[in-house]
Structure 1
Amino acid sequence: MPLRAAALCLAVLAPGLARAENPSVVGMRTADEVRGWQSVGKLVLGARGFCTGVLIEPQLVLTAAHCLFDKETGARIPDATISFQAGWRNGRAEAYRGLRRSVAHPDYVYSGAEDLDRVASDLALLELDQPILLPQLAPFATGGRPGMGASVSVVSYAMDRSEVPSIERDCRVMALETEAMVLTCDIDFGSSGAPVFALRETGAEVVSVISAKADYMGRKVALAVPVEEPLARLRSEIGASGGIRATGGVRVISGGGADGGAGRGGAKFITP
């Protein structure tokens, strides 16, 4: 079926949409509600807005590659202007860290050939300037892509709910488009880079990262990047750059960059 999608650059949403509420997306406003999810944080991109990231090792954060680019100029956002606010909620974070370096997936090209394969490499790994070693901020394990029909959950921040993390539970994997996954998650207001979790016997595992939102058969869905294979390449890339040793038929018309920036356009749109 034809697939039509837009990157999660929330500033381009119409004002009426930005104020709408999605009952399946629940804000985690209290300490009890957020317990266990504090290692998801807000990735603040200087004055350019924000995305969502997730701690997968004490000094490594996973997010979407397009979050690292200024959507007006196409230039990389300087690492020195990016910060990770772990467990940000109601005006404060559990931990604040700057970046030592960031690495986008080597196959990701911010401008150039724009198709669904580009979405499938929309992944980045960030090395923090200091590790986060707090017991309530245990890094999440990562795992292999779930199968068709599997249940997943998304934890994210967004422009209209930037002060608390929100969770959408029990989405489903409804299709596989090349290397990307199509999820039933209604992420109209979810940030790029948000982790997608599968609940397994050992606990919640990050299995993919949100890259774009989409229309599929008249239904709002999400496009997500499976992390298992791309993450292995990212770990090699960040090690090679001197960092820590880290243990169909769809076309994109225009590219998006950092999310959540007020007054900035540039969503990416995917059409048949």
Structure 2
Amino acid sequence: MRKLLTIFFMLLFAGQAFADSGLKTFRSGADSRGWEAVGRLDFAGRSFCTGSLITDRLVLTAAHCMFDIYSHTPHRPQDVTFKAGWRNGQAQAQSKGRAIYVHPGFSLNTDDLHDRLVNDVALIELDQPVRTAAVRPFATSGRPQKGQSVGVVSYAHDRAESASLQEVCHVVARQGGVLVTSCDVDFGSSGAPIFDMSGAAPRIVSVISAKARFQGSKVSVGTSLDGSLSDLLQLAASGRSSYKKAALEPLPHLSETEFVVGTLGE
């Protein structure tokens, strides 16, 4: 597996360099208009991730965010709060979790990094639906092509009070259900939506799973929604909420001399 990933990242940097836009912080309601369905996910005041509404009651995010950052035990739904459009202490809408659906193929304990990344998606069913006119759930779509421009809206540890938009970044490689992008993310960005911006309205094509470095360059890793999202929607429709047990041990990682991958909860 290590050899496969090494080749994967070497191929990544053999390609064309892309011109990306910088991060734009949402400082006003005008800045954030149309992006209010992206919100901050707070976990009992201990940590946070980023999530986005895909229906009035379902929030899409990363599976690893559903485990406590310190103990690796599953979060209780009632300890999760989604704050839609959170900016400077106020949310457009706010609701606690009612149920959590983690992709059945995800496990914190697997030594296969690709398997962990490709299944790193989850849905949170909210206790109360978000039916505010200003907050419109996003549509989803299949994964983008290599070289395609995408965008991302995310929170992070150094911008926890307001989301930021990177309107243009790029898919620089694809490996199975994993996307590697040039998008600018940091701790707290896990679960952030990656958007196809080419249509009349943005569509979510991936969620941020991790950040990585290879040969001194920063990349971000996203989980494709192909197949995995339909699996989750079936789980949510059935009401079968479950986690695989997570051992109380550090997350697996590879040597820093090869490349470093870090999940992005905060």
Q: TM-score, normalised by structure 1?
A: 0.81
Partner of 2:258: none
| Residue identity matched to 2:153 | V
CA distance in 1, matches of 2:164, 2:35: 10
CA contact (8 A) 1:55 1:139 kept: yes
Instruction: Work out whether 1:259 is the aligned partner of 2:257.
Output: no
Gap change, CA 1:258 and 1:215, over 3 Å in 2: closer
| Residue identity matched to 2:125 | E
CA contact (8 A) 1:40 1:55 kept: yes
State the identity as a percent.
40
C-alpha distance after superposition, 1:187-212 (max 9, x if no partner):
23551000000113231000000000
Q: Aligned match of 1:111 in 91, 106, 109? A: 109
Q: Once the 2 structures are TM-superposed, how far is the Cα of residue 185 of structure 1 from its aligned partner?
A: 1.1
Partner of 2:220: 222
Q: Once the 2 structures are TM-superposed, how far is the Cα of residue 217 of structure 1 from its aligned partner?
A: 4.3
Please give the secondary structure, in 2, of the residue aligned with 1:83. Answer: strand
| Residue identity matched to 2:79 | T
Partner of 1:28: 26
Partner of 2:135: 137
Partner of 2:16: none
C-alpha distance after superposition, 1:151-180 (max 9, x if no partner):
001101111111111011211111112320
State the superposition RMSD in angstroms.
2.3
Gap change, CA 1:188 and 1:242, over 3 Å in 2: closer
Gap change, CA 1:123 and 1:175, over 3 Å in 2: same
Gap change, CA 1:56 and 1:126, over 3 Å in 2: same
Partner of 1:83: 81
| Residue identity matched to 2:253 | I
CA contact (8 A) 1:51 1:191 kept: yes
C-alpha distance after superposition, 1:190-245 (max 9, x if no partner):
510000001132310000000000123432111001113100000011112268xx
CA contact (8 A) 1:71 1:256 kept: no
Q: Once the 2 structures are TM-superposed, how far is the Cα of residue 253 of structure 1 from its aligned partner?
A: 1.9
Partner of 2:94: 96
Q: Which runs of 4+ in 1 moved over 4 A?
A: 254-258
Q: Once the 2 structures are TM-superposed, how far is the Cα of residue 71 of structure 1 from its aligned partner?
A: 3.1
Partner of 1:52: 50
C-alpha distance after superposition, 1:66-101 (max 9, x if no partner):
001013322101111110000000110000101110
Instruction: Work out whether 1:66 is the aligned partner of 2:72.
Output: no
Q: Which runs of 5+ in 2 are unaligned?
A: 10-20, 242-250, 255-260
Gap change, CA 1:117 and 1:150, over 3 Å in 2: same
Please give the secondary structure, in 2, of the residue aligned with 1:222. Answer: strand
Gap change, CA 1:44 and 1:185, over 3 Å in 2: same
CA contact (8 A) 2:157 2:186 kept: no
Partner of 1:15: none
Q: TM-score, normalised by structure 2?
A: 0.82
Q: Once the 2 structures are TM-superposed, how far is the Cα of residue 115 of structure 1 from its aligned partner?
A: 1.2
Instruction: Work out whether 1:209 is the aligned partner of 2:215.
Output: no
Gap change, CA 1:222 and 1:256, over 3 Å in 2: closer
CA distance in 2, matches of 1:206, 1:67: 18
Partner of 1:153: 151
Please give the secondary structure, in 2, of the residue aligned with 1:127. Answer: strand
Q: Which runs of 5+ in 1 are unaligned?
A: 5-22, 244-250, 261-272
Which 10-residue stretch deviates more, 109-118 or 179-188? 109-118
* Larger RCO of the pair (alpha carbons < 8 Å, separation 6+): 1
